[in-house]
Amino acid sequence: MDNQKNSNLPSKNEFQPYIKPTQSMAEVTLQAVVLGVILSVVFGVANAYLGLKVGMTVSASIPAAVISMAILRGVMKRGTVLENNIVQTLGSTGESLAAGVIFTIPAFFIWNQTIPGFSHEISNADIIFLSLLGGALGILFMIPLRKYLVQREHGKLRFPEGTACAEIIKAGDEGGGKAKTVFAGLGLSALYKILMGGFRLWPEVPNTDLKFFKGANIGIDATPALLGVGYIIGPRISALMLGGAVLGYLGIAPLIAYIGTYIPHTLIPPGDMPIPEMSPGDIRNFYIKYLGVGAVALGGFVSLVKSLPVIFHSFAVGAKQILGQRTAAEIARSRLRTERELPMKTVIIGSLLVIFLIWIYPGTELHLIGAALVVIFGFFFVVVAARIVGIVGSSSSPVSGMTIATLLVTSVILLAFGVSGFRGMVTVMSIGTVVCIAVCLSGDIAQDLKTGYLLGATPRQQQIMEFVGLLFPALAMGFTVFLLSSAFGFVKDATHPSPLLAPQANVMSVIVQGVMTGNLPWVPIIVGCMLAAAIELVGISSLPFAIGLYLPLNLSTPIMTGGLIALIVRKISREDVAKKREERGILFGSGLVAGDALLGVMIAFIIAFSSSYRAFYEAHEELSLTVAYGPWISLIAFVGMSYMLYRSTRIKRVS
CA 653 to chain centre: 36
Q: What is the 3-state secondary structure (H, E, C) of 80-106?
A: CHHHHHHHHHHHHHHHHHHHHHHCCCH
How much is the pLDDT for 75?
Answer: 78
Q: Which residue has the higher pLDDT, 563 or 113?
A: 563
Give first-to-last CA distance, the chain, whole Å. Answer: 39
How much is the pLDDT for 586?
Answer: 83
- pLDDT 10s digits, 490-504: 876 545 555 566 767
Helices and strands of the chain, counted as H and E runs? 27, 2
CA distance 513 to 428: 10
The answer to whether the beta carbons of residues 508 and 403 sit under 8 Å apart is yes
Of the pLDDT bands very low, low, confident and very high (cuts 50, 70, 90), residue 2 is: very low
The answer to whether the beta carbons of residues 500 and 489 sit under 8 Å apart is yes
Of the pLDDT bands very low, low, confident and very high (cuts 50, 70, 90), residue 13 is: low
Alpha helices in 324-343 (DSSP H): 328-334
- pLDDT 10s digits, 222-259: 989 889 888 987 898 899 989 999 999 999 999 999 99
Instruction: Please state whether beta strands 207-209 and 217-219 pair in parallel, antiparallel, or not at all (unpaired).
Output: antiparallel
DSSP-derived secondary structure for 166-184: HHHHHHHHH-HHHHHHHHH
Written as one letter, the residue type at 45 is V
Of the pLDDT bands very low, low, confident and very high (cuts 50, 70, 90), residue 412 is: confident
> Comparing C-alpha atoms, which of 439, 412, 442, 422 is closest to residue 509?
422
How many angstroms separate the Cα of 284 from the Cα of each of 217, 219, 231, 234?
10, 14, 27, 27
How much is the pLDDT for 177?
Answer: 67
- pLDDT 10s digits, 107-141: 888 888 877 777 777 888 889 999 999 999 999 98
Q: What is the CA radius of gyration of the chain?
A: 24
How much is the pLDDT for 642?
Answer: 96
CA distance 390 to 388: 5
Of the pLDDT bands very low, low, confident and very high (cuts 50, 70, 90), residue 326 is: low
CA distance 529 to 300: 10
Of the pLDDT bands very low, low, confident and very high (cuts 50, 70, 90), residue 450 is: very high
User: Average pLDDT, stretch 637-644?
Assistant: 96
